[in-house]
Structure 1
Amino acid sequence: MWFKDSGALRVPSAAEALPGRETPLPVPPRHHVLPASLTGPFPEGSAFALFGLGCFWGAERKFWQLPGVISTAVGYAGGHTPNPTYEETCTGRTGHTEVVRVVFDPAVVPYEVLLRTFWESHDPTQGMRQGNDVGTQYRSFLGWYDDAQRAAADASRDAYQSALTQAGYGPITTELVPAPTFYFAESYHQQYLHTHPNGYCGLGGTHVSCPIGVGV
């Protein structure tokens, strides 16, 4: 069931959302690719980033490949249902979108490099979809963890919007908000394209370069 408003997909209200559950979904104790935990603790000085750019399988791989990334995990954020399942999220009745939580060392990989990877790895102008993946769970999403991340995210959006406009694209529809609660997805989703090398990716960017992070 999709929630529609004037023919367009929309995020349900808290009253409309599924109830969810108190218990978090279990995840593997260790990352399948990186020498780290999915849940922590993480080294002193680590920072967090939160991105939604369509199907989280391919999105997570984009970030675990970056030098300086300590750990990644896929999950759900931006909605109302606590600890949702994948099946619940796919109904459109949780309000969540599929996201990747990135733990990184800012002394090795600046946040601006993560931003550039985020913008260039999907089309942030498509609203409630990415390519053939349609639904509120595929909307573009960026959650910032502090004022510095907020300023960098806003600046990167504005710079990328200018580049996209010159290339003939419409306005960016990405949701930029304070990082909400991150709910881990099921174990089989974690590092999916490592455990399933021929699995579905679904990512498709605009081929427009983002000026933020260039030369860093």
Structure 2
Amino acid sequence: MFSLRKKTEMPSPAEILPGRAAAIPTAESHVVNGRSLAGPYPAGMQKALFGLGCFWGAERKFWQSGEGIWVTASGYAGGTTQNPTYEEVCSGLTGHTEVVLVVFDPAKIAYEDLLKIFWENHDPTQGMRQGGDVGTQYRSAIYTYDAQQQEAAERSRAAYAQALAAGGYGPVTTEIRPAPTFYFAEDYHQQYLARNPAGYCGLGGTGVACQIGLSVEA
């Protein structure tokens, strides 16, 4: 999943593409479990939003992570362009990063468990790239839906930064902020690796363990 233009700086306001008022078409249901991508979701479900490189492999990591995951979806967030297309995001002129929306049951899986999956399955020290995928759309990000998620994300970043430093890695570049608008990606991106099991996945962790998650009570 390589863009034709390798842009590693966020676009200026004058460069931002205008986008469109209407949402782009996407899939209605999850290929793996058949549930509605856009909801409505059952009462008690919570949302989480993560960017950790190419969303094909990232989404698979989350839908495979246990029964507490209700549904996942690939999309774009963190930029300015309204209802962007994949091609526009790849141009580097929308400001968005590729993200995975995770709808989960906090009674079955804790938000901290999702953070552990996030940290351990990419290198959060690489800035505007992830491995061979280069560009602003591959930056590391956690977008939070409430104060509790914000606090947990910041706490985990501080702890994991220490572990990475001990392992010889540089500073963590992950952006953490309240969740902006999430835009669903096109239908062919949804659960891409379920449709194409041999498809490209550039996801790779550092091998440094994140000491949060399973030992933390929900």
Give the TM-score normalised by structure 2: 0.94
User: 1:156 matched to which residue of 2?
Assistant: 156
Who is 1:168 aligned against?
Answer: 168
> Normalising by the residue count of structure 1, what TM-score does the alignment of the two structures yield?
0.95
- Runs (5+) with no aligned partner, structure 1: 4-8
2:33 is matched with which residue? 34
206-215 or 53-62: bigger deviation: 206-215
Match of 1:100 in 2: 100
Q: 1:106 and 1:36 mapped to 2: Cα distance?
A: 18
1:26 CA displacement: 1.4
How many residue pairs match? The answer is 211
| Letter of the structure 1 residue corresponding to residue 174 of structure 2 | T
Compute the displacement of 1:12 (Å).
1.1
Residue 51 (structure 1) aligns with:
50
Provide the secondary structure at the position in 2 that maps to 1:42.
coil
Aligned partner of residue 177 in structure 2, secondary structure = strand
Asked if structure 2 preserves the Cα contact closer than 8 Å seen for 1:34 and 1:64, the reply is no
Q: Structure 1 residue 212: deviation in Å?
A: 1.3
SS for the counterpart of 2:72 is strand
C-alpha distance in 2 between matches for 1:214 and 1:107: 13
Shift of 1:28: 1.6
Does the CA contact (< 8 Å) of 2:47 and 2:103 recur in 1?
A: yes
Q: Is the 8 A contact 1:2 1:93 kept in 2?
A: no
Deviation for aligned residue 1:2 = 5.3
Q: Indicate conservation of the 8 Å contact 1:20/1:81, yes or no.
A: yes
- Counterpart of 2:209, as a letter, is S
- Gaps spanning 5+ residues in structure 2: where? none
Distance in 1 between residues matched to 2:150 and 2:130, nearest whole Å: 24
CA RMSD of superposed structures (Å): 1.0
Where 2:114 maps in the other structure, the secondary structure is helix
